[in-house]
Structure 1
Amino acid sequence: MRATMRAAVCVRAGGPDVLEIREVPLPVVRKGWSLIRVMAAGLNRSELRTRQGHSPGVRFPRVLGIECVGVVAGSTDPALPEGTTVAAVMGEMGRAFDGGYAEYTLLPDALLMPVRTTLPWPTLAALPETYLTAQGAVDALRIGPGARLVIRGGTSSVGMAAASIARAHGVEVAATTRRPEKAAGLRSAGVGHVVLDDGGPLRLPWPERPSHVLDLVGADTVVDSLRLAGRGGTVCVAGSLSGWLIRDFEPIAMIPSGARLTAFHSDDAKGSAGAAVLQRVVGEVEAGVHQPHVDRVFALDDVVAAHEYMEGNRAAGKVVLQPRLAA
């Protein structure tokens, strides 16, 4: 095996140009950690904020990437023989230790989720963080057939996945976007009503309030989402497109009486906790129940362009990074 590998290293906090392609030592397998040949890695906005310097615990240089899919290239665990297809997500990937923006990555065995699939690598890479988060959020909403769901941040990869999952549950879905040209992508994901978010009051398609709101925008919109749902409604926050903190939040004043505010964090679906759910999602994608939208695939060499694309909010669906590995 080669002694070195290529990786996109974030050398310091800053703009996309702080991501540099470097030849670095190949990680060495050790007890409890397996070497994974990265076949594709989904990009996430949390990596963008880490790159910008908004993750205080992260020290640079660091290989970013909170998720990846690939094959086991070396392990001391007999349950993870070489060649096993695996996915991994969260668990401090790309933060406390190097993540998926590389040809290979060394990951804790506890994070690895073996997967049986015939899906193409970019499609598989679009599933772990996205669909585990979407499924967890839908579950947290306790949503059922006949409900009306508003998804704020609908053209994010999680938003489109949640729309597909909700549609399969018989839920009527409206989703917001700030860009009219993204409406077709939302409808293809199962959104029945596309709502243009122009910064003013949302014009929802129903005379009554929605029973549930999935807020993927986060800090800037949570209070308004609570107002939308009103008494008896449920709001789940599962994204932070607008940042981490809600300023001047006064729960008693801002949460309507009887409304429910909850959240889902994808770290709750890592490793064994998410393995069965991911395998079920993979099977549903293979059966055509869900059609994950991969917006664009970038080569490892184009990681700067990939971050510029993500930071410019140009994607409708998942952006994927795919290393070009040597034979």
Structure 2
Amino acid sequence: MQGSAVVLGAGIAGLATARGLLRAGWTVHVLERSPGLPGTGTALGMWPEAMHALDRLGVGDEVRATSVEQRGGRLLRPDGTVIARLDLGRPVRLVPRPALLKALAAAIPPGVIAWSTPVTDHGELPAADVVVAAEGVHSPTRTALFGTAPRALGTVAFRGTVPGPADGVTETWGPGRLFGITPHDAGNTNWFASIRADLLPPETSPRSAVQLLRELYGDWHAEVRRVLDALEDTPIDRRTLLDVAPPPSYVSGRTALLGDAAHGMAPNLGRGACEALLDATALVEALTAAPDVAGALRRYDDARRRPATRTVRLARLANTVSTAQHFLPVRNTVMAAASGLSRLG
């Protein structure tokens, strides 16, 4: 089947869907409120199934060329001692968000994406067989269709990059907060901090993000302190972490929800970008294989809603456990035992 689609949002899910449908001979319009692709962003984990999706979209090799492969990591205490060594079992590629978006957008013809075009009235959308709502966690389309608003996880994230290579992947867990370090690319370090919201001063506090992070993590191990020492004059992204309660369906009429609009999740499992790519390729395959739009959207919903919902729930649990404030020795013992069992398996 071929037809026409309007894609709301030029993030990972929206660009991947647009690229896939264009390659399948569809007519596509993309409406994006931002003026263009972002020039900054932290590293995203691409699991093998996400890389397979990128291969099907024709950009796998380009993404591999801008990524760093990792196969494991270490879970640490604030003093740097090891809680657990994590064997991922499969290679994961870390790719900077701007590089991924650039790769997805590269072959989209000029004029397909309408930048600086926020959608305020769905009644004024271009005529199309399918509307793809990929507007992110605050998706007005999802709210209008199902009344599902984002929900706070009780944590706040700070993220950025600093110069210098990272020594592998580490995540350090302390009381009510964590600090993660990964490679961003061969010469830069990606970092992220997640903190229980009730441990933070109000956002109106005169303390800068750098001051606050140094207060919270300044006595942690040397690799964390290396990042803290390099924070001056680097962009720091601060945001309240949210996820989305599973909606009853990812489709309504001719509209399909994708990516964070469908299943915004805590970042702790590193699966958000992967799930968005899996959504996109599943929707493209359904729309090109099914004889009608209604059947294609049912097929997409059947394929994606259950596994994505499970990942949302697991990510929420991981966010809670990793930033726990009590029973930390018990938590760490359980994590060490679980990692040992995974190695034996």
Q: Same fold (TM over 0.5)?
A: no
Q: Larger Rg: 1 or 2?
A: 2
| Short-chain TM bin | under 0.3
Q: Which has the higher contact order (CA 8 A, sep 6+)?
A: 2
TM-score norm. by structure 2 comes to 0.26
The structure carrying a bigger helix percent of its residues is: 2
Normalised by the length of structure 1, the TM-score is 0.27
